[in-house]
Amino acid sequence: MADRAIRRFDVEPVQIGHLRQGDLIAPEIDLHTLPPPRSLGVASQRLPRHPLCTRELGAEPWDIRPTKRVAKGIWRSFQPSDGGGDMARLFSIRPGITFRGRKFLGIRGWNGKPTHPPLTDFPIVCYVVAALFDVVSWLGWFGDGGRFSSRDLFRAATLVMIVGFVVSLATATTGFWDWWRGLQRDRRTGIIGRGAHTQVWRTANWHMTVMLTTTGVVIVDLIVRFGQLNASHTSAPAAILSVLAAALVSFGSTYGGTMVFDYQFNVQPLSGSTVWDETEIDQLPGEKAKPVE
């Protein structure tokens, strides 16, 4: 039995996926053919280790674990590919979250990671939701009893609108900086500079005008609300102002989308990029395209 217990397996290197030259992987081992556990007669004899496992061959099958070398090779198969091997990558994660290689633009954000677009989501959603709450409260669908009353909806709409207004201050600031620093201008004509009279410039002007008008309507709406905080439901003037603000912010946001998706404003150029090429190699920000072999 001792001779059987110290028998070794012959394992050859196997190349798969993205394992490097010389890495080993564990072959399929039939647990029923493994040597039995050490008996009392051979307990004092140290049994040899399988070349790919951390325990002796005489150990229980459930105690056999891959060596660090094998585990490292398996883990490497899930890491970014260098273009070799047969395993296709399903995800690209690092380029989308890294800030290394991106130019910092102050409060405007970074190249490829601007601050204005994500901030715009808050006022749009908040003003639309507040208008919905106000309309339901004004119509009195929930009455004064039950789990949700018209008064609760009025207060909820007020809180949501306050959140949207506070975030809109940062949205307007970053939007102004994009309008000032992101458009072609003659800087010799003053601090603001004379903007080139392009279609993009005119669209940006209209987008900014609509959004500033929306902010003005929201300010008036909040003033009206603060005078009616103890009301049992949303008043008609407050509901009308909320609906107007929701309509304006939705209308103005379409021009913001036009700036980005139609005119590619504040979008990084793709010249020399390989992101649309069929390759297993990821291109990081600021990195030159790697040749595909």
Q: What is the pLDDT of residues 207-249, one digit of tens each?
A: 999 999 999 999 999 999 999 988 889 999 999 999 999 999 9
Each residue's pLDDT tens digit, 45-60 = 454 555 555 554 454 5
Each residue's pLDDT tens digit, 151-205 = 999 999 999 999 999 999 999 999 999 999 988 888 888 888 898 899 999 999 9
Closest alpha carbon to 213 in 167, 237, 181, 247: 247
Domain-by-domain residue ranges, the chain?
1-79, 113-262
Reduce the secondary structure of 36-84 to three states and give it as a string.
CCCCHHHCCCCCCECCCECCECCCCHHHCCECHHHHHHHHHCCCCCCCC
Q: Is the pLDDT of residue 71 over 70?
A: no
When pLDDT is cut at 50, 70 and 90, the band that residue 40 belongs to is: very low
Closest alpha carbon to 215 in 177, 176, 183, 264: 176
The contacts of residue 69 (CB under 8 Å, 6+ apart) are 23, 24
Each residue's pLDDT tens digit, 120-152 = 999 999 999 999 999 999 988 766 655 678 899
Closest alpha carbon to 221 in 138, 165, 141: 165
Beta bridge partners of 66: 53
Contact 102, 285 (CB under 8 A): yes
Q: Is the pLDDT of residue 106 over 80?
A: yes
Contact 50, 57 (CB under 8 A): yes
Each residue's pLDDT tens digit, 258-283 = 999 999 998 888 888 888 888 888 88
- Average pLDDT of the chain to the nearest whole number: 79
For residue 185, give the H/E element and its range. Answer: strand 185-186
Proportion of the chain above pLDDT 70, given as a percent: 66
Per-residue confidence (pLDDT) for residue 283, from 0 to 100: 87
Q: How far apart are CA 250 and CA 242, in angstroms?
A: 12
